[in-house]
Structure 1
Amino acid sequence: MALLSGRRLVRGLAFAGVAATGYAFGVTSDRAVAQPQPQPAGLPGTPTLPSGPGAQPLPKSVAPLPQAEPDRRVVAYIHGNIPITRGELGDFLIARGGHEKLELLVNKRIIELEAERRKITLTTVEMKAALEEDVRGLGISKDDFVKHILPKYGKSLYEWTEDVIRPRLLLTKMCQSRVQVSDEDIQKTFENRFGERRAAKIITWNENDFRTAQKQWDEARKSDNDFDRIARMQADPTLAAAGGQVRPIGKHSETENDAVHKELHKLQPGELSAIFKVPSGFMCIKYVAPVPPEANVKLDEKMKEALRKEMFTQRLEREIPKCFKELKDAAQPQVYLKGPPSAAEFREGVSNIINQAGGVPTLPAAPTPPAPKP
């Protein structure tokens, strides 16, 4: 349960976080700038929504909506009669980092608008239960969750509830009809969990570490001790601490990418695979020894129900990002408020400027000073 709850935390933060915004050219200002742009087409006050994932974008030939007037609602007074408006407060906050929340707002609105279209709602009871499940899954109290976990993500309890739990639950309701678990799926999972398996160890490398991977793989294949030494050096701290040891692997692939499963089942006990590509980078796998089946475990109705629930949750977690991507592609968000560039974006902008200017000019060599007279 703790593992699944941890996955929910990460999944929720995928929508609560702010992704880096692409820059078309050059280096932006270090101050957030709102650029007025045409609004989506439609009648004033009644924007037309697409009908869901895969829907066609709104026609671009329709006249754009006029820009909204600044919000002049008063949030404070100074000197008794000088107002501070919500519009001024908004500009003040945006200039000091508010742009970081824009993608979160865009994502939330995409999800909420689709939920409205499908008449999907949430109750206070559902929200509270989801929060309690997050806390319970971590094995801590609610106070500890607020004091120690939320600060790591830079969120208050209100933000966690509204920016993480709410979109997560709405997406769950939208996507759950897309997930199916058959009796055959349950049988294969049971065999993978309790049938004959293969004990294995792995070493992983990042995408840009192929040369290091080649060198370390050449060392790791020399002996068991050399493999274990390299395995304890790998970048993944969990795998390094375990010396590359992973849970025994069954005969059926359980992931969309079955490269690990295929490579392992080519090997004899004690053999090490070649380096192969995986989504996160590169990997090699060593077949340690066969693991016999657990004879005392039976696939009864209770076991079937437990496996069905677990598999449904795992598949739903994989389906939600796909569902959200479809919604976002259909919404075609256009973000005009830009914040300061990241270090990588700054370097890319400078590189673009240099390339468009014809590259870095070659400076004339400095004159050689005359040799000293004897």
Structure 2
Amino acid sequence: MSDPTPATTPPTAPKPKSRLVPVIAGTAFLALGAVAYFQFFSARPAASQTNQQQPASRPASANGNVVAKVNGQAITYEEVARECYNRHGAEVLDTLVNRLMIQQACAQRNITVTKAEVEQEVVDIAKKFNLPLDTWYSMLEAERGLNREQYHADIIWPMIALKKLAGKEVQVTEQDMQVGFERDYGPRVKARLILVQGNVRQANSIWEQCQAKPDEFDRIAREFSADPNSRPLGGVFPPIRRHGGSKALEDAAFKLKVGEISPVVQLEQNQYVILKCEGLTEPVVTDIKVVWNDLYNQLVEEKTQQSVAEVFKGLEERAQVTNYLTRQTTGPQTIRQVSAESAAPTAGPTANAPGTTTLK
């Protein structure tokens, strides 16, 4: 999702994404209270579901349809609207579709979200970070391009509505607490890593080189690893924790002694890793009682986010959506084809996602 506001500082070259992040990062807790919900809703202006936001009125002019003149030549409201539609229509439409699905589900179950609930949720989020409310709104404007009304309508209202649709209070068990404590506060394996994108023969060939010259693991990693982040560092990788992502990787890492090299570990199809153990980190907290309340609240938030994501996914799977902008339809039933005259024009062909039908 692109940032809706221009950058205020010179752009820098993007850092290469680690190919291992989806596998190893796992379910890391998202610090920004409502940030998990940005994946569902575009950070673009849209109508409010709390009836706070009024539609923008056309600017007054001698001719109500003219919004500007250049050397006497008019630029009309329709021209501006068409440019906005062409540039941002798909993202705004996604936001409206997503929110309407939620609104319909709430109406079916007589669920309402009040203006007071929305405002209180924002207050609570700001308090989590010890920020004054005005500072929180300013930060959202600067970092996400969201003004107050957009934040309420596009993020907070759907978040509260989905929580209510999820219904049940999440339960955090003692087992959850122990797993969470091991994940966040337990020892981690310091290791160098070589990622192999290819077949097992390639991985075994590199592993044999590591076994033959274990002291040159860093050189071998710089030469052969497919991970762009760790390769320049000789395979140095963030310490591997328990319950953080790939069980196969974790099991292999925690079996190693200092200086040992792991067998070839398969993460996914045609994706393998080789580890060299460099020791364990020292836990900062060893008694779960010290962090019990903070950890409990964190796990409640994580489980709530998971529940909300599942509810939203269910709404998507059950909803029958005909998108005339992308000329696609999604949903459980097959929709008859729609004529091109009734469909919005597109810039070019779009690939069908699973469960979609292209409208003709």
Map of 2:239 onto structure 1: 246
The gaps in structure 1 that reach 5 residues or longer are: 19-73, 350-374
Distance 1:169 1:106, change over 3 A: same
- Deviations along 1:229-287, whole A, 9 cap, x unmatched? 848994348x969931326x34xx365x53332332444443234242259x6654443
- TM superposition shift of 1:112: 1.9
Q: Verify the 8 A CA contact 1:264 1:273 in the aligned structure 2.
A: no
Map of 1:23 onto structure 2: none
Max Rg structure: 1
Match among 15, 18, 37 for residue 12 of structure 1: 37
Distance 1:254 1:178, change over 3 A: farther
Map of 1:334 onto structure 2: 322
Greater RCO, 1 or 2 (C-alpha within 8 Å, sep 6+): 1
Q: Verify the 8 A CA contact 2:195 2:227 in the aligned structure 1.
A: yes
| C-alpha separation in 1, matches of 2:40 and 2:92 | 11
2:228 match: secondary structure: coil
- Deviations along 1:21-54, whole A, 9 cap, x unmatched? xxxxxxxxxxxxxxxxxxxxxxxxxxxxxxxxxx
Map of 2:261 onto structure 1: 271
- TM superposition shift of 1:291: 5.6
What does 1:1-374 correspond to in 2, within 5 Å? Answer: 4-6=30-32, 8-9=34-35, 11-17=36-42, 93-135=84-126, 149-175=140-166, 177=168, 179-192=170-183, 197-201=187-191, 203=193, 209-210=197-198, 214=203, 222-223=213-214, 226-227=217-218, 230=221, 234-236=227-229, 243-246=236-239, 249-250=241-242, 253=243, 257-269=246-258, 270-278=260-268, 283-290=273-280, 297-300=286-289, 303-338=291-326, 340-341=346-347
2:236 match: secondary structure: coil
Amino acid at match of 2:310: K
Distance 1:333 1:284, change over 3 A: farther
Amino acid at match of 1:13: F
- TM superposition shift of 1:106: 0.3
Q: Given the two structures, how large is their TM-score scaled by the length of structure 2?
A: 0.57
| C-alpha separation in 1, matches of 2:123 and 2:163 | 17
| C-alpha separation in 1, matches of 2:132 and 2:209 | 47
Map of 1:66 onto structure 2: none
- TM superposition shift of 1:140: 6.1
- TM superposition shift of 1:99: 3.2
Q: Verify the 8 A CA contact 1:131 1:165 in the aligned structure 2.
A: yes
- TM superposition shift of 1:93: 4.4
- TM superposition shift of 1:131: 3.0
Q: Verify the 8 A CA contact 2:106 2:165 in the aligned structure 1.
A: yes
Q: Verify the 8 A CA contact 2:190 2:281 in the aligned structure 1.
A: no
Distance 1:188 1:15, change over 3 A: closer
The gaps in structure 2 that reach 5 residues or longer are: 1-27, 44-56, 68-75, 327-344, 353-360
- TM superposition shift of 1:180: 2.6
Q: Percent identity?
A: 18
1:276 match: secondary structure: strand
Q: Which moved more, 1:138-147 or 1:311-320?
A: 138-147
